[in-house]
Amino acid sequence: MNRKVFFIAVMFGLAAVSNSVAQQPRVLTVHANKPVATIEPTMYGVFFEDINLGADGGIYAELIKNRSFEFSKPLMGWKVAQKPFTEGAVTVQNRQDKQSANPRFVRIKLANVQAGQLTLTNEGFRGMGIKKDVRYNFSTLYRTAATGISLKISLIDAKGNVLGSTVAVPAATGNDWKKMTASFTSNATEPKAQFSIEIVGNGTIDMDMISLFPSDTWKQRPGGMRADMIQMLADMKPGFLRFPGGCIVEGFDLDQRYQWKKTIGPIEERELIINRWNFEFAHRPTPDYFQTFGLGFFEYFQLAEDIGATALPILNCGMACQFNTAEVVPMDQLEPYIQDALDLIEFANGDVQTTWGKKRADMGHPAPFNLQFLGVGNENWGPQYVERLAVFQQAIKAKYPNIKIVASSGTDPDGERFDLLNNALRQMKVDIIDEHYYRRPEWFLQNARRYDTYPRNNVKIFAGEYAAQSDKTVSVDNRNNWMTALSEAAFLTGLERNAGVVAMASYAPLFAHVDGWQWTPDLIWVDNLRSLGTTDYQVQKLFSLHKGNTVVPVLLNNETVAGQDSLYATASIDSANKELVIKLVNVSGDAKVVSMAVEGIKKLNPNARQIVLQSNDLKAMNTFENPLLVSPKESAVKLKGKKLDYEALPYSVNVIRISMQ
Ligand code: AHR
């Protein structure tokens, strides 16, 4: 065994040393009448970023790639087939001066074109996932002076069979842009379909925003989101939704930063930009990755509301990604960035009479979104961050004192940069410090006590991005396996035990497409038709569904349970359901018999239940073939009075729920 493997083996109780300790009697005492801290409803949430085809090609259900011809190569994703070929029959026009947000469109000149002579085909995002009996809604902006032009639109499977088809005909002629719509139903399910438009007629037609959406989107919203992916989030009952990232907030340079105002209003007026994950990793280039912003800030707020989560938007702080250009806006030119923040709060919460509140109402949501948190900067660091943050803090608090500001502590949970920010942010009395840890599993085990010694004051912690790396950060060999998930579970007991300090936690990144990812590991993997909850997802979901609302002490032989004998634990009261919730993680390869005793309560219902995640194989992974390989198993357990003899299986995460009624 080399040193590294031996170390991991010891951490996970694989080595012989664990057996000697395993013989000692274990008494786990829960003090149900000694509340320690409140667990915020926001405790477990989700971090969303348009990475790994998370938004375009992901939750945003648009099937057409490059619908507005604005990619750097304007016909990327499209194929034009002409028989016979006529030079200049299909051109991309650029009306830069007239419509800078969406300058390009396609112009098609038809000289008495017959069926089969001119076809545009779109390949979708790694193909299109099409479902039998689902209706597909086509739309395009068009203008034409000609009559008699028609479009035969079809979905075609990988073998060339037609899945569904209909004919769309321009309803009007003239110089104004109009919208044409049509829909049809697919006769089969196909993971890698393409979409074609066969055009016939005589004359010229211009087209832009060529779009195809399934009708079975989340909440059946036209132009909405992929329901299976959103359901995975809703199933976690997340306390918050952080958006839109992540590094895309910062941008490669300031020009490519995320600007929320450009993501609201009519979709044809939302200016597309290149996605920084398009070119970030030379080993995972994704040349067709752009942000259309069909999914913009309004939709994020709406999504948060739909899934019962508090919205947590993060804004650019006047700094581009410090791993890339590290551009900063001069301090005397920070004002527009500050104004963006103030306007966002008005957009989310303002009365419909206000400028930005009215825009929200015009988009269909007159009621406020009740924004409470605002992040300023993603992974920014250094004195240049501190001085910019101070201006944001001053301006936001002056106008909106109740908005809680989330501030960055940089990319790493330790080191000089972290220390500088940690001190500075505490002096500034920011509300919440966002800490990130992409570390190996053993780090998560070693850091289960990280927050035991953090100051108990008004500065709270947001564990904003974490994921155990089975190999190392940004390695393509990282896997979502039971070892990573188990180590995160052990760590989460430390977060929850310290809920008086830690107010929020989210795994990152959230989604990855199997054919279009840049970063691994990820919480949920998808292909064009399916979503898969990883082992890590099962852990996050389990903790979120069983968080309770008040932490109470749980001690193993009178000590906090944070690694001794390979065990980690936390306990809470779920007052809504009048239940005591005990979480016990066993990272050892041996079963652990534990005598649990509940003190400080008169009576407990003897019929309790356990929900267990377990695998004997630390390399076990949930896959599309076996998606629930590691998934919760629920069964009854029986108390004797206020005692429970419990066996925590090898490598297991256990939730025990005991009714206090
Ligand atoms: O989650 C992937 C990336 O990791 C995020 O964009 C960034 O914040 C972090 O470095």
Look at residue 446 and tell me whether its pLDDT is greater than 60. yes
> Can you tell me the mean pLDDT for 31-37?
97
- Answer yes or no: is 123 within a domain: yes
- Answer yes or no: is 605 within a domain: yes
Are 160 and 29 members of one domain?
no
HSE value, Cβ hemisphere, 13 Å, CA-based, for 598: 30
322 lines ligand 1 (CB under 6 A): no
379 lines ligand 1 (CB under 6 A): yes
Look at residue 233 and tell me whether its pLDDT is greater than 60. yes
> Can you tell me the mean pLDDT for 144-160?
97
> Can you tell me the mean pLDDT for 267-294?
97
49 lines ligand 1 (CB under 6 A): yes
Per the structure, how many domains does the chain have?
3
Contacts of 540 (CB under 8 A, 6+ apart): 44, 236, 488, 507, 523
Summarize pLDDT for 42-82 with one digit per residue, the tens. Answer: 999 999 999 999 999 999 999 999 999 999 999 999 999 99
CB 405 within 8 A of CB 432: yes
Angle, to 10 degrees, between the axis of helix 355-362 and the axis of helix 335-349? 50
Pairing of strands 592-599, 27-31: parallel
In this structure, the residue with its CA closest to atom 2 of ligand 1 is 509
CB 187 within 8 A of CB 139: no
Are 615 and 510 members of one domain?
no
CB 15 within 8 A of CB 478: no
Are 29 and 91 members of one domain?
no
Contacts of 153 (CB under 8 A, 6+ apart): 138, 165, 166, 167, 168, 182, 184, 195, 196, 197, 198, 212
- As a whole number of angstroms, the distance between CA 64 and CA 67 comes to 6
Are 315 and 209 members of one domain?
no
> In the prediction, which pLDDT does 364 show?
98
> Can you tell me the mean pLDDT for 384-406?
98
CB 617 within 8 A of CB 50: no
Are 501 and 578 members of one domain?
no
Are 447 and 561 members of one domain?
no
User: pLDDT above 70 covers what percent of the chain?
Assistant: 97
CA of 509 to the centre of ligand 1 (A): 7
314 lines ligand 1 (CB under 6 A): no
Burial of residue 273 (CB within 10 Å: 0-12, 13-18, 19+) is buried
CB 105 within 8 A of CB 93: yes
Can you say how many angstroms the Cα of residue 344 is from the centroid of all Cα atoms in its chain? 21
CB 63 within 8 A of CB 195: yes
> In the prediction, which pLDDT does 575 show?
97
Summarize pLDDT for 594-611 with one digit per residue, the tens. Answer: 999 999 999 999 999 999
Ligand 1, from 50, 51, 524: best to mutate by most atoms within 8 Å of Cβ?
A: 51
Look at residue 15 and tell me whether its pLDDT is greater than 70. no
Are 610 and 649 members of one domain?
yes
> Can you tell me the mean pLDDT for 256-285?
97
Look at residue 19 and tell me whether its pLDDT is greater than 70. no
In this structure, the residue with its CA closest to atom 8 of ligand 1 is 246
> Can you tell me the mean pLDDT for 395-403?
98
| DSSP assigned state of 44 | B
Cα dihedral sign, 564-565-567-569: negative
> In the prediction, which pLDDT does 643 show?
97
> In the prediction, which pLDDT does 557 show?
87
Three-state DSSP class for 222?
coil
519 lines ligand 1 (CB under 6 A): yes
Which CATH number does the domain housing residue 144 bear? 2.60.120.260
Which CATH number does the domain housing residue 592 bear? 2.60.40.1180
- Answer yes or no: is 68 within a domain: no
Q: What is the mean pLDDT of the chain?
A: 96
> In the prediction, which pLDDT does 76 show?
98
Question: Structural domain of residue 10, as residue ranges?
Answer: 3-38+550-659
- Answer yes or no: is 67 within a domain: no
User: pLDDT above 90 covers what percent of the chain?
Assistant: 95
Q: pLDDT confidence of 8, banded at 50, 70, 90?
A: low
The pTM score is 0.97
> In the prediction, which pLDDT does 314 show?
98
Are 226 and 296 members of one domain?
yes
Q: Which of 545, 574, 599 is the last residue of a domain?
A: 545
Q: pLDDT confidence of 6, banded at 50, 70, 90?
A: very low
Are 247 and 188 members of one domain?
no
Q: Which helix (H) or strand (E) holds 480?
A: none
Least Cα distance to 204 among 166, 141, 147, 154 occurs for 147
